[in-house]
Structure 1
Amino acid sequence: MKISVGVQAVIILNNMLLTIEKVEDDGDVCYILPGGKQEFGETLEQALRREVYEEVGINVEVQELLFLREFISANHIIAEAHSKLHIVSPIFYCRMNPDDVIPQVAPHPDPGQLGVEWIDVHDLFSLRFYPIELVLQLIEIASGNRTMPCYVGDMN
């Protein structure tokens, strides 16, 4: 199998994080950062702008790289169902125009996508949010304390 690149966006307004609400394989609802796979010939920035537009319906300005995350499925609980995934995810801070209105239906939602949810960063621990390991850093970012770009390793 090949390693794929899956870009993700951190979009925060007034302590609220923009997330994608989706149904997991087990039928439970989870929340993830907007984003998706980079296509051949795209820069990371182009891929992220395209993915956010497809899933959310807004244009974003890609800012700095916050985190570099890996997901190696064989190391996680989903290994039985998805044993061949290895995704490298650059996670960027993005800005949206505060006057933009998120449409009720995304232009090209992912399979299993239920919608878009603004979630208070302090509530992320009580939800099935991925990657949960980043919540403390997301709270810091929401409070105005930017982290340095960092490799955060293999996390679910």
Structure 2
Amino acid sequence: MQRVTNCILNHNGKMLMLQKPRRGWYVAPGGKMELGEHVKQAAQREFFEETGLTLQEPELRGVFTFVIKHEDEVVQEWMMFTFYCEQYTGQLLEQSPEGALEWVDMADVLHKPMAEGDRYYMQHISSSERIIYGTFTYTPDFQLLDVKLDPDSP
């Protein structure tokens, strides 16, 4: 099972987002964990690699399972650990190796193109300090089939 981390960086009412070139979807910067890494290390390393910024004390806010199903058969599954942070150091990269970086007003984040399930956890994490757990089930072409969240999304 693949393990990934990401982080919602909210600084002065804006979230740093990464627009991935493949689908044009916006995401919180992050990526795959390396062998032996703990989730916080991975989140800080991946965020730095993609943005040039060093997160200052990110907090775990979400743990999610993503399931890809084709005709009721699971064809892929991974876990994602999502952090939240408000402070950072460093200089933002002019160009990320993973796509285009953009500071987005928090009020506009959910209006950006993104995977439908991302809207659920981004809304919760940006409005609550409680950790959220969830499972998102998608088709192979990333159409959202089912969402299970604990606690339920607002």
Q: Same fold (TM over 0.5)?
A: yes
Supply the RMSD in Å over aligned alpha carbons.
2.2
1:121-132 aligned at under 5 Å gives the runs 121-130=106-115, 131-132=118-119
Picking from 123, 127, 131, the partner of 1:149 is: 131
Report the Cα distance in structure 2 between the residues aligned to 1:86 and 1:62, rounded to whole angstroms. Answer: 28
Three-state SS of the structure 2 residue aligned to 1:59 is: strand
1:13-37 C-alpha deviation (Å, 9 max, x unpaired): 122111111122xxx4110011111
Q: Structure 1: which amino acid aligns with 2:119?
A: I
- 1:92: Cα distance to partner? 1.0
**Contact 1:6–1:89 (Cα < 8 Å) also in 2:** yes
* Equivalent pairs, count: 134
Identity, % of aligned positions: 23
1:55 deviation in Å?
0.6
C-alpha separation in 1, matches of 2:126 and 2:5: 20
Matched, 1:34 2:29: yes
Q: 2: distance between equivalents of 1:89 and 1:57?
A: 21
List alignment gaps of at least 5 residues for structure 2: 138-143, 145-154
Deviation of the 1:66 alpha carbon: 0.7
Cα displacement (A) at 1:48: 1.1
Q: Is the 8 A contact 1:45 1:62 kept in 2?
A: no
Question: Residue 143 of structure 1 corresponds to which residue in structure 2?
Answer: none
Higher RCO, 1 or 2 (CA under 8 Å, sep at least 6)?
A: 1
2:85 to 83, 87, 94: 94
TM-score (norm 2): 0.75
Gaps of 5+ in 1: 141-145
Partner of 1:7: 5
Report the Cα distance in structure 1 between the residues aligned to 2:132 and 2:110, rounded to whole angstroms.
21
Q: Is 2:36 the counterpart of 1:18?
A: no
- In the superposition, the TM-score normalised over structure 1's length comes to 0.74
